[in-house]
Structure 1
Amino acid sequence: MIDFTTFLSGPYCTQILADLGARVIKVEPLTGDSSRAIPPYFVDGDSAYYLGNNRNKESVALDLKTPDGQRLARQLVAAGDVVVENYRPGVARRLGIDPAELREGRPELVWASISGFGQDGPWRDRPAYDMIVQALSGVMSLTGEAGSSAMRLGIPAGDLVAGLFAAIGVLSAVIEQRGTGRGRHVDISMLDGQLSMLSYQAVYAMISGLAPQPQAARHDSIPTYRSFTAGDGRELVVTANTERMWRGLCTVLGVDELISDERFIDGGARLRHRDELWELLEAEFARDSAQAWVGRLVEHGVPTALIKTVPEAIDDAGHAGRDMVVELESDSGEQVRVVGNPVRFTDGGHIPLRYPPRLGQDGPGVLRELLGLDEHEIGRLRADGVLGVQEADR
């Protein structure tokens, strides 16, 4: 797989595929993927941002603005079976790697393009970042408290969802290619991805004609699916979705009389009287600590959890035995902990995770192996500024 992606949506896609066993050759400009320089945290010269999305890859640094660089890029594409890029529409063609031309010569090639608004449509040429598509999709209008300013999600869902859909599209196209011999051009729009993630909220809006309101830590349909503040000031979430869970919640809180109260007799009644219900429940949760309530509710089969900070969640994951926190070591001995791969196979066979590559570190080896270049030609390319190699002792 030849990876021309940068920043987040594309690298996240190709890291997923690399974790699952694909050989990913990351083609970068001589200055490197722009995410390598994002502050504030750096390890061994590269940013934490880059390190979180580029493991298990090989790096080749080429100047695609030169004829030699474009020629080498085309030859790498010819040596691969999948290409992933996240240029704006038309940029790949200007860089000498036109998907239409290259796929015409190799119809079996799978090509995935990730962009803000897709390869066609009125907005195809507009630049987009995560917060742009969160805003345009309506996602930001659902995030935060009623009456407050719109908020972006705390994770870059616009980028990450696009990367996930791109990985799904590539895998589907590869399966089809193996059966038919023909590849596909996978067209992923970040905005389309966010619209898809609206799920039932979009359907609610289309049926009712009304704009869904900010969700905060609540649910439009289930009033006992929300957060509460306990007596120690810590927050917990309760997701009492069924009648059994509702009865368990009342029992644990010591308010069994609410079970037969006509205002709360079923889900519809509880939704109509949610403000009264929340006031009663909040008063009960204030009587004890969040951890105490979590223990009791879980014991009674009511799904409940503390709202944890990121360090708390990472610490728990590190002790859970599912390899969701892994330590990678660079050639120079630097170590970094990253989030692992959530796709697990119960019969083992996990792919070893390798430290993200230094800029261009694999270029000479890849050009020798895949393109048959000799040392003289590789030396010339380096001397001409077409091929960049960052040495290990930086």
Structure 2
Amino acid sequence: MGALKGYRVLDLSRVLAGPWCGQILADLGAEVIKIERPSVGDDTRAWGPPFMKKEDGSDSSEASYYQSTNRNKLSVAVNIATEEGQEIVRALATECDVLIENYKAGSLEKYGLDYKSLSEINPQLVYCSITGFGHTGPRAEEPGYDFIIQGMGGLMSITGEKDGVPGAGPQKVGVAVADVMTGLYSTIAIQAALISRQSTGRGQHCDMALLDVQVAALGNQSQNYLSTSESPGRQGNAHVNIVPYQVFTANDMDFIIACGNDSQFVALCNAIGKPELPSDPKFTKNADRVRNREAIVQILANHFLTDTADNWVSRIHAVKVPVGVINDIGRALNEPQVLARNMLINLPHKQNPGFQMVGSPIKLSHTPVQHLSPAPRLGEHTNRVLKAALGMNEARLAELTAQGVIEQFVDG
């Protein structure tokens, strides 16, 4: 019994932010019906290589990108450009608690699938729209993409090496974080709306925008600007407000120190054989070290070149100052702590019984997350869902299939 068992979600979204939200809800026990275009499906089905491997080691047609965001869902292939397809989605919406969509603002009005239209036939519906810029404002009707949002939202201006250093320049993050964070915020908004519905009896519209989320997620950096009227710059792997909190180079490889307070700085200096540093008034307090960043970092950088990263990490770890190596993704996924927390799961696929993926990080004591099924094949559940939710018989399903309104996956 998942925490959201009994809730039904209609997921009309594609690519990442919306599907990420839908996958979280599905992991938590909601029944998530993914509406996809016949013959094509979610755009990310074709976003490869890499593709999931079949049991014989050859490539399947299922892109790894698609697999990462659609676990535990049911796929229903419906052509919403047809009147019959629109009617199917409307009918399903009356049987659902939540609808997620990420079409451009206003696009679904012509189909009668916008919030206003659907809330009239199902006042309890929680309708979550995910767009680049939201449903209001001068850019509301423009498409929004994570890369553009990372740039517009200020994230790239603080990501990358600082000016004057080789390789300097703005950088996007290696994961589409604006999309992922919007999926997370959308999940929170949906759950809040469902709780509100318990007392009001009505659903509501959740208007979620990637740009809003990216700006909100600037955290201390945006507040630094509001306090000083100066835009923070790029610091590479250093922290703008804490020193030392960055990557250092040993005589063999790089490692990270995240020294979060003055007592940790004292412990760090004792552990590495530089006990005199905290007594220097230029370095005693964090504010002193921030003001004298270049001096203290240079002293530490020169010192760390005298030994190996493993030795430094071992000595620093022993005094409980946060420290660690820099893993690639393969090593990260095989960290003993990651494995002990069951973050790698086996989720057999019909084409690959040994299929693995990263599981949900949500750990609930009484309603644990369940990983029940891998991302569905296109139209895998069309007939099943339309029979169960709308009571369609075989003759009607065959008629709609012949008309190209729906599509049912056929194995082989």
Q: Same fold (TM over 0.5)?
A: yes
Indicate which of 103, 107, 112 corresponds to 1:91. 107
Deviation at 1:334, TM superposition (A): 4.4
In the alignment, is the contact (CA less than 8 A) between 2:262 and 2:284 conserved in 1? no
283-292 vs 16-25, which deviates more? 283-292
1:389 aligns with 2:408: yes
CA distance 1:52–1:264, change in 2 (3 Å): same
Indicate which of 4, 17, 32 corresponds to 2:41. 32
Deviation at 1:266, TM superposition (A): 1.6
Encode CA deviations 1:92-126: one digit per residue, 9 max, x unaligned. Answer: 22233121011023221110000000011111011
Deviation at 1:182, TM superposition (A): 0.8
In the alignment, is the contact (CA less than 8 A) between 1:230 and 1:286 conserved in 2? yes
Structure 1: distance between partners of 2:257 and 2:365? 30
CA distance 1:25–1:338, change in 2 (3 Å): same
Number of the residue aligned with 2:61: 45
Number of the residue aligned with 1:343: 362
SS in 2 for 1:45: strand
In the alignment, is the contact (CA less than 8 A) between 1:75 and 1:371 conserved in 2? yes
Indicate which of 387, 392, 396 corresponds to 1:368. 387
1:190 aligns with 2:206: no
CA distance 1:341–1:373, change in 2 (3 Å): same
Give, as a single letter, the amino acid of the residue that structure 2 aligns with 1:68.
Answer: E
Q: Which runs of 4+ in 1 moved over 6 A?
A: none
Structure 1: distance between partners of 2:272 and 2:150? 38
Number of the residue aligned with 1:203: 223
Aligned length: 392
SS in 2 for 1:26: strand
In the alignment, is the contact (CA less than 8 A) between 1:317 and 1:324 conserved in 2? no
SS in 2 for 1:284: helix
| TM-score (normalised: structure 1) | 0.97
SS in 2 for 1:149: coil
1:322 aligns with 2:378: no
Give, as a single letter, the amino acid of the residue that structure 2 aligns with 1:7.
Answer: V
Deviation at 1:243, TM superposition (A): 1.6
Structure 2: distance between partners of 1:357 and 1:318? 30
54-63 vs 310-319, which deviates more? 310-319
Deviation at 1:53, TM superposition (A): 0.3
Counterparts of 1:1-394 in structure 2, within 5 Å, are 1-30=9-38, 31-43=40-52, 44-147=60-163, 148-232=168-252, 234-316=253-335, 320-347=339-366, 349-393=368-412
Give, as a single letter, the amino acid of the residue that structure 2 aligns with 1:40.
Answer: P
SS in 2 for 1:312: helix
266-275 vs 20-29, which deviates more? 266-275
Give, as a single letter, the amino acid of the residue that structure 1 aligns with 2:12.
Answer: F
Deviation at 1:389, TM superposition (A): 1.8
In the alignment, is the contact (CA less than 8 A) between 1:64 and 1:73 conserved in 2? yes
Deviation at 1:178, TM superposition (A): 1.5
Structure 2: distance between partners of 1:20 and 1:113? 20
Structure 1: distance between partners of 2:351 and 2:150? 39
Deviation at 1:221, TM superposition (A): 1.5
Deviation at 1:65, TM superposition (A): 0.8
Give, as a single letter, the amino acid of the residue that structure 1 aligns with 2:127.
Answer: W
Unaligned regions of 5+ residues in structure 1, if any? Answer: none
Encode CA deviations 1:230-257: one digit per residue, 9 max, x unaligned. Answer: 111x221111111210011111111111
Deviation at 1:317, TM superposition (A): 5.7
377-386 vs 93-102, which deviates more? 93-102
Give, as a single letter, the amino acid of the residue that structure 2 aligns with 1:273.
Answer: N
Percentage identity across paired residues of the two chains: 35
Structure 2: distance between partners of 1:350 and 1:165? 19
In the alignment, is the contact (CA less than 8 A) between 2:28 and 2:370 conserved in 1? yes
In the alignment, is the contact (CA less than 8 A) between 2:23 and 2:69 conserved in 1? yes
| TM-score (normalised: structure 2) | 0.93
Structure 2: distance between partners of 1:355 and 1:262? 58
Deviation at 1:45, TM superposition (A): 1.5
Structure 2: distance between partners of 1:215 and 1:128? 27
CA distance 1:79–1:348, change in 2 (3 Å): closer
Unaligned regions of 5+ residues in structure 2, if any? Answer: 1-8, 53-59
Give, as a single letter, the amino acid of the residue that structure 2 aligns with 1:13.
Answer: C
